[in-house]
């Protein structure tokens, strides 16, 4: 069951609802959004039905939702949401480009990648300081030193930072620097991490687990929402299939399906799905045309010497085409056309 409080409900109204629910043996999770407060209830719905919650002061409406996720569902919130990352919107109406290096390696490499990202029209900078690598012998990231480099580059370029947090114990540290916390595919069902990022109150990008169904992905998002954080962006980054020609298979259908089931924005990662530079542009196009609210793309000034994911990183020469594809397809999809950054070849 979900209770949406009226816009003018005060803290004492929320407390009164929580007290009544808890007294009846239920649990109440309060999510405070920018414009309204939502209370998700866990327990016996028949008992809740007898509490006459809809008559309480400050209660807007009470919905009985039987799905395994509630706060992130469209049943509960029919309009699609926009998530703001330091003022940058992600959601319906635009296509937001997040770009940057897979991993932060040096201050020079991070700044050069950020400049490339900006030239392609990116409004958010990605870059991993804590890297979740499949092999323990691969580069694991620079940790806090990498976060500091990102913060310096933000200072220099004005681009807010999206960066991954790998463990629950590192959430506070990463949140000190990040504008948006990324939860990677390998951690989609790390429930302690999801709860920790939910509690910290910064926007979260939740990548789809490479073996996860869309429903499992939404239930993972619900863990974050249940801790009071509805600033969640879903990211489709490819799933495991029998196909070996690509690193993962971009599940284009996941974009409209997730958007129909959930009000959260859905973006696509064409870099980690294909795992190959030559596939980034076609997959980016497919994502936009399927209705994605944004893209997250790897770029690197020198992919040949990249410490992580060089083969999929875009180089400067690719960016004009990416930028034009975003402009043209964004317009075609009836979204806000972004500024034309690269002259069109005549
Ligand atoms: C990344 O974006 O750097 C990353 C590791 O992605 P994924 O979790 O999708 O593999
Ligand atoms: Mn990567």
Ligand 1 atom nearest 102 alpha carbon = 3
Q: Is the CB of 237 under 6 A from ligand 1?
A: yes
Q: Do domains 2-63 and 83-337 have the same CATH topology?
A: no
Domain ranges of the chain: 2-63, 83-337
Q: Is the CB of 300 under 6 A from ligand 1?
A: no
Ligand 1 atom nearest 308 alpha carbon = 3
**Residue 137 corresponds to which tokens in the numbers above?**
């012998």
Ligand 1 atom nearest 296 alpha carbon = 2
Who contacts 42 (Cβ-Cβ below 8 Å, separation ≥6)? 26, 27, 28, 29
What are the DSSP E strand ranges found in 208-345?
Answer: 232-236, 266-268, 294-298
Whole-prediction pTM value? 0.88
Separation of alpha carbons 250 and 244, rounded Å: 13
CA dihedral 121, 127, 132, 135 (to 10 degrees): 90
Radius of gyration of the chain (CA): 21
Ligand 1 atom nearest 184 alpha carbon = 8
Weakly modelled stretches of the chain, pLDDT under 50: 340-342, 345-346
Q: Is the CB of 185 under 6 A from ligand 1?
A: yes
pLDDT digits (tens, 9 = 90+) for 213-229: 999 999 999 999 998 89
CB atoms within 10 A of CB 340: 12
Distance 192 CA to ligand 1 centre (A): 19
Ligand 1 atom nearest 185 alpha carbon = 8
- pLDDT at position 64 is 81
Architecture of domain 83-337: Alpha-Beta Barrel (3.20)
Distance 207 CA to ligand 1 centre (A): 8
Given ligand 1 and candidates 101, 103, 164, which is best to mutate, with the most ligand atoms within 8 Å of its CB? 164
User: Whose alpha carbon is nearest atom 8 of ligand 1?
Assistant: 184
pLDDT digits (tens, 9 = 90+) for 293-314: 999 999 999 999 999 999 999 9
Distance 81 CA to ligand 1 centre (A): 24
Q: Is the CB of 208 under 6 A from ligand 1?
A: no
Separation of alpha carbons 327 and 273, rounded Å: 22
Q: Is the CB of 207 under 6 A from ligand 1?
A: yes
Strand 232-236 vs strand 37-42: parallel, antiparallel, or unpaired? unpaired
Who contacts 343 (Cβ-Cβ below 8 Å, separation ≥6)? none
- pLDDT at position 34 is 61
Separation of alpha carbons 281 and 61, rounded Å: 44
Q: Apex CA 278: angle with CA 132 and CA 346, to 5°? A: 135
**Residue 226 corresponds to which tokens in the numbers above?**
């249940």
- Give domain 2-63's CATH number out of 3.30.70.1140, 1.10.3720.10, 3.30.1540.20, 3.40.50.300: 3.30.70.1140
Q: Does residue 89 contact residue 82 with C-beta atoms inside 8 Å?
A: yes
Helix then strand then coil, % of the chain, to nearest 5: 40, 20, 40
- pLDDT at position 340 is 43
User: Whose alpha carbon is nearest atom 3 of ligand 1?
Assistant: 102
* Ligand number, closest to the Cα atom of 127: 1
């Amino acid at each position: 069951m979900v209770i949406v409080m009226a816009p003018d409900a005060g803290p004492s109204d929320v407390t009164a609802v929580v007290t009544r629910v808890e007294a009846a043996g239920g649990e109440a999770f309060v999510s405070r959004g920018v414009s309204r407060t939502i209370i998700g209830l866990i327990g016996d719905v028949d008992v809740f039905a007898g509490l006459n919650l809809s008559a309480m002061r400050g209660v807007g409406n009470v919905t009985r939702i039987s799905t395994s996720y509630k706060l992130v569902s469209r049943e509960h919130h029919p309009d699609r949401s926009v998530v703001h990352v330091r003022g940058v919107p992600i959601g319906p109406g635009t296509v937001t480009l997040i770009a940057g290096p897979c991993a932060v390696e040096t201050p020079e490499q991070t700044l050069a990648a950020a400049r490339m990202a900006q030239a392609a029209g990116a409004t958010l900078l990605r870059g991993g300081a804590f890297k979740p690598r499949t092999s323990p012998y691969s580069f694991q990231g620079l940790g806090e030193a990498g976060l500091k480099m990102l913060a310096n580059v933000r200072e220099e370029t004005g681009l807010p930072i999206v960066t991954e947090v790998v463990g629950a114990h590192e959430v506070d540290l990463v949140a000190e620097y990040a504008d948006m916390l990324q939860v990677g595919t390998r951690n989609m069902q790390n429930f302690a991490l999801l709860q920790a990022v939910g509690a910290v109150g910064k926007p979260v990008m939740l990548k789809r687990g490479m073996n996860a169904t869309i429903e499992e992905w939404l239930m993972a998002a619900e863990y974050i929402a249940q801790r009071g954080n509805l600033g969640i962006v879903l990211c489709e980054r490819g799933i495991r299939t029998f196909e070996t020609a690509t690193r993962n298979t971009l599940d284009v259908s996941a974009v409209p399906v997730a958007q129909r089931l959930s009000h959260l924005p859905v973006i696509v990662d064409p870099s980690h799905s294909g795992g190959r530079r030559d596939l980034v542009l076609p997959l980016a196009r497919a994502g936009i045309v399927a209705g994605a609210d944004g893209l997250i793309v790897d770029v690197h000034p020198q992919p040949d010497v990249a410490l992580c994911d060089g083969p999929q990183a875009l180089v400067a020469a690719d960016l004009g085409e990416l930028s034009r594809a975003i402009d043209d397809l964004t317009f075609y999809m009836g979204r806000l056309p972004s500024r034309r950054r690269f002259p069109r070849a005549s």
